[in-house]
Amino acid sequence: MTDPIQAAADLLWNTWQREDLIHGIPADCRPATRQDGYAIQQRFESLSTLPLFGWKIAATSTAGQAHINVEGPLAGRLLRERVVEDGGEVPFGRNHMRVAELEFAFRMGKDLPPRDTPYSTNESLDSVATVHPAIEIPDSRYTDFTIVGAPQLIADNACAHYFVLGEATSADWRSIDLRQHAPMGTVLHADRSRVTRQGLGANVLGDPRDALAWLVNELSSLGITLREGEVVTTGTCLVPLPIQGGDHVEGDFGILGRVTAHIRYSM
């Protein structure tokens, strides 16, 4: 008898690898709840050939939640084979979201295992080793990701695609009010025109540090340990930047550092 969770995971994984699109997961294996979605997403770890790199949070602003018709944030897995080094090339391929997002990222310094009581923001931060500027290049495997709902979006790895992690900041980030920190994102297009937008930490669930705690507790509720060395990227702090092949993307996080990526032309 076919396992519906594995069938859905295989469909999404193969669609992702081929850079194809589907209208949605077929009814006979479609997730009905967030938990069903996470069960499908979990199978990606066994389909990946490398250890898990970390976690992402999608829909961390009210505008983002309204755009994809969900009532709250969604967690997704960062797969190591989809991580590009700072300054490296991100394949554009057939990406149909066509945006870059600037994000605050935390690398964990110790494990946070599941428990019955929620982790506080301070407890989550006490477990952080380093803070990094980051760029996420999301995408979805659905023709219209705004209408499929939270369970299918979670199953689709919360629109994870490519991720660029900047160097760990040398600044005393614990003394900085990340709510008021205002990164600047710039896309230099191949025709030399540019788009520049300013972000704000408060756009990320009110505070990127609270977003980290949300992820810790979301994983805890699922019986998942957030592990030492894993990276958590907390969601876009600005209106996503439009990108296309040949573009150069830069995130200037001021005292927290910079991160860049080149968007490679489609082959």
Q: Can you name the residues that pair with 186 across neighbouring β-strands?
A: 196, 250
Measured between alpha carbons, how far is 266 from 54 in angstroms, rounded to an integer?
27
pLDDT at site 190? 87
pLDDT at site 81? 97
Instruction: Please state the pTM of the whole predicted model.
Output: 0.97
pLDDT in tens, 36-50: 999 999 999 999 999
- Residue 155: name the closest of 54, 35, 40 by CA: 40
pLDDT at site 61? 86
- Burial readout 220-235 (b: 16 or more C-beta within 10 A, e: otherwise): beeebebbeebbbbbb
- What is the domain partition of the chain in residue ranges? 4-83+101-168+201-236
pLDDT at site 266? 72
93: phi > 0 → left, psi -120 to 50 → alpha, else beta; which? left
Low-confidence ranges of the chain (pLDDT < 70): 1, 267
Is-contact 103 235, C-beta < 8 A? yes
The string of DSSP codes covering 170-185 is -S-GGGS-TTT---EE
CATH 3.60.15.10 fits 4-83+101-168+201-236, yes or no: no
238: phi > 0 → left, psi -120 to 50 → alpha, else beta; which? beta
pLDDT at site 29? 98
pLDDT in tens, 142-186: 999 999 999 999 999 999 999 999 999 999 999 999 999 999 999
